[in-house]
Amino acid sequence: MATGQMAMDLGRRERLGEQAATAETYARLVWRRFRRHRLAVIGGSVAVFLSLVAVLAPWLAPYRPEQISLADRWGVPSRTHPFGTDELGRDVISRAMYAGRISLSVGYLSALGVAVVGTVAGVAAGYYGGLTDSVLMRVVDILLSVPTIPLYLIMAALLPGGGVARIIFIFVLFGWTGVSRLVRSQVLSLRQQDFVEAARALGASELRIMLRHLVPNAMAPIIVATTLAVGGFILGESALSYLGLGIQPPTPSWGNMLQRAQEYVLNASWLALFPGVLIFITVLSFNFLGDGLRDALDPRLNV
C-alpha cells in the first residue's frame, strides 16, 4: 500500500514538473499516449458518433418516433425500416435514435453530477480535515455499506414519476461516494506539498487554493472515473428501465424498448436485438475510452 502511494506521488511530481515547464507539453504528451491506444480511439469515436446521432435525432430520424402505423406492424428490417418496426408499426431506428437522447443524457448528466458532488465533498474532506472529514467519510462509509443494485431498485420503485430527472437524482445521490474518496486521497497528499504552502504564503484565499491548485491537480482520476461512470450509469438506467422502474413509456429509452421487446422476443427478436446491442456498444465504447484516458493521463492511476 505504502509503496504504491509513494509511486503515485512520484508519478504526480513528475507530472507537475512537466506541467510547470509548459502546459502545452503535458497536453501533447497525453494526446500522444492516447492516440497509441487504438481501442480507446475507436471507443472515443463511437461515443462521439452515437452522441452526435442522439443530438441530431430530430433531423436524422426517418420517421417520428411515436408515429403509429398499424398497417406496418412487425416489419422485419428492410430498406425503408433499417431496424424494422415494432408491435404498433413504429419505426425502430427512429425510436432508437430518440431513445439514445434519453439514455445518453442520463449517462452524461449523472456522471457529471457525481463528478461535481464527489469533487466538492472530496476537496472539503481532504482540505479541512477534522470534523468535516469525519462526518463526510462516515456518510460515505454508510452509503457504501448498502448494496447498490437493491438500493437503486428500491429508490426507483419508491420515488414517483417516470422522468429522466428522477433517475439522475438517484444515481447522483448514491453515486458520488467513489469520486469523493479518490479526490480526498489526492487532496490529502497535495495539500502537504510546497506549491500549496507557497500559494498560502502569497496570501491566496482558501477557495483559490482549492479551485486553482488542488482540483486541477486531482483532475486525472476524476476524468477517468467520470468517463467510466457514463457507461456504468447507462447500464444502470437500462437495467432499471428494463425492470419497468426507470424511464416510463411513451418516452423511449434503450432499456424500456428492450423491456417491451422481451414479450415478443420469440417472434420478433430484432426488437430486442437493436436496443440491446446499442446499450452494449455504448458501454463498451466508454469502457475503452476510460481505460485509454487512464493510460494516457497517468498509467499508475488505480481508478
Partner 1 sequence: MLRHIVQRLLNLIPLLFGVTLISFIIIQLSPGDFLSEMRLNPVVSSETVEAMRRNFGLDQPLHIQYLKWLRAIFLRGDLGYSFAYHVPVTWLIGSRLLNTLILNLAALVIAWLVAIPIGIHAATRQYSFSDNTLSMTAYLGISTPTFFSGLLLLLFAFKTRLLPIGGMTSLDYEFFPWYGKVLDVARHLVIPATVLAFTASAGLMRQMRGNLLEVLRQDYVRTARAKGLAERPVIYKHAVRNAINPLITIFGFEIGGLLSGSAILENVVGWPGLGRLILEALVQKDLYVVMGSLLIGSITLVLGNLVADILLAFADPRIRYD
Within 159-218, the residues that bind partner 1 by CB under 8 A are 159-160
How many helices, marked H, and strands, marked E, lie in the chain?
15, 0
C-beta of residue 226 within 8 angstroms of C-beta of residue 172: no
SS3 state of residue 172 = helix
Which of 98/286 has CB closer to partner 1?
286
The answer to whether residue 6 forms part of the interface with partner 1 (CB under 8 A) is: no
For 116, the grid coordinates are 461535481
Q: Is 46 in the site for partner 1 (CB under 8 A)?
A: no
| 299 burial via Cβ count (<10 Å: 0-12, 13-18, 19+) | exposed
CA angle 92, 95, 99 (to 5 degrees): 135
Long-range CB contacts (within 8 A, 24+) of 200-209: 206/127, 209/127
Which lies closer to partner 1 via its Cβ, residue 196 or residue 224?
A: 224
Question: Per residue, what are the HEC states of 116-176?
Answer: HHHHHHHHHHHHHCHHHHHHHHHHHHHHHCCCHHHHHHHHHHHCCCCCHHHHHHHHHHHHC
Decide: helix, strand or coil at residue 215. Answer: helix
Residue placing its CB nearer to partner 1 in the complex, 96 or 209: 96
What minimum distance in Å lies between the beta carbon of 73 and partner 1?
21
Interface size with partner 1, residues (CB under 8 A):
39
Contact between 42 and partner 1 by CB under 8 A: the answer reads no
Binding of partner 1 at residue 131 (CB under 8 A)?
Answer: no
Nearer to partner 1, 103 or 119 (CB): 103
Q: Which of residues 232-271 bind partner 1 (CB under 8 A)?
A: 235, 238-239, 242-243, 258, 262, 265-266, 269
Residue 196 or residue 272: which is nearer to partner 1 going by CB? 272
We find the least distance from the C-beta atom of residue 17 to partner 1, in angstroms, to be 23
Q: Report the site for partner 1 in 85-114 (rule: CB under 8 A).
A: none
Give the residue, chosen from 83, 98, 176, 288, that forms a contact with partner 1 under the rule CB under 8 A.
288
**For the CA atoms of 295, 33, 110, 230, what is the dihedral angle to 10 degrees?**
-80
276 binds partner 1 (CB under 8 A): yes
**Exposure letters 54-79 (e unless 16+ CB within 10 A, then b):** beebeeebebebeeeeeebeebeeee
Q: Give the position of cell 480511439.
A: 41
CA distance 218 to 118: 12
Smallest distance from partner 1 to CB 279, Å: 6
Least distance from partner 1 to the Cβ atom of residue 235, Å: 6
**Residue found under cell 419508491:** 158
Judged by CB under 8 A, the residue of 76, 146, 165, 211 near partner 1 is: 146
Instruction: Please select the residue that binds partner 1; options are 20, 27, 60, 142, rule is CB under 8 A.
Output: 142
For cell 413509456, name the residue.
Answer: 249
The one among 130, 150, 203, 250 contacting partner 1 by CB under 8 A: 150
Q: Using an 8 Å Cβ cutoff, are 40 and 34 in contact?
A: yes
Q: Which is nearer to partner 1, 115 or 268 (CB)?
A: 268
Residues in contact with partner 1 by CB under 8 A are: 1, 39, 138, 141-143, 145-151, 153-155, 157-160, 231, 235, 238-239, 242-243, 258, 262, 265-266, 269, 272, 276, 279-280, 283-284, 287-288
